[in-house]
Amino acid sequence: MSVATIILHKHKAEAVRRFHPWIFSGAIKKIDGAVNDGDVVSVEDERGSLLGVGHYAKGSIAVRLFSFQKIESVEQCFTEKIEQAIVLRKAIGMWSNKRTNAFRLIHGEGDGLPGLIIDVYNTTAVLQAHSTGMFKERKLIAGLLVKLSGGRITTVYDKSSAALHAHTKDEILIGENVSTEIVENGNRFQVDVIGGQKTGFFLDQRENRKLLGKFSKDRNVLNTFCYTGGFSVYALKAGAAEVHSVDASAKAMAITDANIALNELQNHQSFALDVFEFMKEAKNDFYNTIVLDPPAFAKHHSARHQAIQAYKRLNAVAFQKVSKGGMVFTFSCSQAVNSALFEGAVTAGAIEAKRNIKVIHRVTQPADHPVNIFHPEGEYLKGLLLWVE
């Protein structure tokens, strides 16, 4: 391949040799050849030894590597990466699962394709590019998905506009009908691929929803920031006495109600209200279990302090409201807030609430959201199951 070459400073190549896929702009000594945002580039050390191949970007992360060796073509490289991803999903029981037909197929760096997310909803693959380079390859990727899936995927929908913050148009790349309903652990859910958040559904909470079900029988459950009611459905299916779902979005609450009806469940109430305002007015000791699954309070390190304060405040009010012998499922999906900082914020909330708290489980993202051991930043979802005395 004839591409521009990125040459790194002498002491900046070691991280790449340890297979970290990000190259920051400050590590670049010079660029040989013309390069534009999204172009494929090769990366070398000062001696001219190849370190990898990736996509160039204008920003702090200047190159995202998708190969640490020479490649014949992008198509050949991406074919191998997608094949490997399919092998993994088959190995963990996600590929042909009658009880769960929605899963993540490509998890960025975790599957060796930085800047690319692909979620599968029944027969639809939703592609979300988080880099210009991956966006430029979207049609190639769509064709490979259909070809390599052996008929498992028939429609590919590109939903990159929100992630790229660019004037791109979301569209069907292959196929005609976008899936609108999935099954997860035997539970049915409507999925708004086109208009919903992210790719349409939060697949990363699958196993944590299942865990909630184990502790929901005969309990009054509050599901905050509920989006489309995933935790609520699991709690009711497991025999919860009463479930209240709260989200500021009236549209999300409408889909929550639809999912409750789809699973023929009762003993549920929806509240399209601000979560903090709702909890402030909630009756003390009514809820035996509270789920705190807020959106990312910090999308960048600059907002980290503010996010930690928000986690503290949210958890403190939950600890004040939950009954004695109650449980709090609390989560952070902010990549900028690591596990230690998150647990510190939760601890500060417990101190403020003056309640004795015990950690029962520490949880994270499921196996179809793999973390590259050389890229620990990929572990973004952190959660605690807490017992409140």
Number of other residues whose CB lies within 10 A of the CB of residue 346: 26
Q: Per DSSP, which regions of the chain are E strands? A: 4-8, 22-24, 28-32, 40-44, 50-56, 61-67, 102-107, 116-121, 124-129, 155-158, 171-174, 181-184, 187-190, 220-224, 242-246, 268-271, 289-292, 326-332, 357-363, 382-388
Pick the CATH number of 4-67 from 1.20.1440.230, 3.40.50.300, 3.40.50.1370, 2.30.130.10: 2.30.130.10
Token readout for 163 is 């992630």
Q: What is the pLDDT of residues 212-225, one digit of tens each?
A: 999 999 999 999 99
Contacts with 340 (C-beta within 8 Å, 6 or more apart), sequence order: none
User: Domains of the chain: which residue ranges?
Assistant: 4-67, 74-182, 202-388
Place of tokens 């990159």: 160
User: What is the assigned CATH class of domain 74-182?
Assistant: alpha beta
115-153 per-position pLDDT tens digit: 999 999 999 999 999 999 999 999 999 999 999 999 999
- The catalytic site residues sit at 333
pTM, to two decimals: 0.95
Can 74-182 and 202-388 be said to share one CATH topology?
A: no
Task: Output the pLDDT for position 166.
Answer: 76
pLDDT beneath 50: ranges in the chain: none
Task: Say which CATH class 202-388 falls into.
Answer: alpha beta
> What pLDDT shows up at residue 354?
96
Which residues sit opposite 271 in a β-bridge?
246
